[in-house]
Amino acid sequence: MALLLRAAAVAATAAAVMGMLASPAAAQGAPSPSPDPAYRNHTVGGADGWFFNATSNSTSGNYSSWAATETFYLGDYLIFQTNDNSSVVLTTNATTYTLCDPSEDDGLETYIYSGGGGGGGGTEETKAIAAPLLYEGTNYFFSEADGGAQCQQGMRFEIKVAYGRGLPPDLAHPPPPPMERVLAPPPAGSVLSQGLDGADAGAGAGDDTDVKNAGCRAIGAGTRFLEAVAAVTLAFFVAL
């Protein structure tokens, strides 16, 4: 009887070991994969916004510190609360970023967004510029205004963009450059349109923003886009 009990115990132990080998995740207690992160809108600088004070020669926030607290994925949007005194340059070119100057950049992954008005010394109307994250890896942002002086005084930051769930369909196939174009309103139901009217539960606090107008010119194939001011008005988003 003792021999039979010992044989049964050995067989049970062997079966348990085989089961663990067949299921390494279960053996190691590995958690199940987490779902892909939802698309989000990130308000650059938080409440500080994207502004430059020409009198004090300083920016309204510390953008590198802000970026260090955020996690970014393809398909997210950066929302720049700014005015016509500043611009937004998106590039994957480290040299362009270091020089604070996109004028000689012929790459297809450099875009210049502006509030559309040309700056000035007076009080400028606040507006929002929405820049989608289209490129995985290191992305650089800066203001080229005042001949790059704003960038040199700290109006710049870099981020790491992870793949996440990849680009959504409305961003996966942008129009090919070079050609003059005006930014169209975001497609209905996209992360940008949802986040701006408060319908996107995945958007962070403070990320519900009304875009009054925004313009973009891209640089590519040796030809710079002419600056275009998009007719993206507050009325459009209120109507969504």
Tokens, residue 50: 């994207």
Report pLDDT digits (tens) over 128-177: 999 999 999 999 999 999 999 999 999 999 999 999 999 999 998 765 54
Report pLDDT digits (tens) over 177-225: 433 333 434 444 445 555 444 333 334 434 544 444 445 666 543 333 3
- Domains of the chain, residue spans: 1-33, 41-239
Which has more pLDDT, 147 or 2? Answer: 147
**Strand ranges (E), 84-195:** 87-91, 110-114, 127-132, 137-142, 156-162
CATH code: domain 41-239 is 2.60.40.420
In the numeric block, the tokens 């996690």 are attached to: 71
Residue 209: the pLDDT is: 43
pLDDT band, very low/low/confident/very high, at 28 (cuts 50, 70, 90): low
Q: Residue 229's closest CA among 81, 49, 84?
A: 84
Q: Name every residue whose Cβ is closer than 8 Å to that of residue 179 and which is 6 or more positions away in sequence.
A: 225
Whole-number Å distance between alpha carbons of 156 and 112: 14
First to last CA, the chain: 79
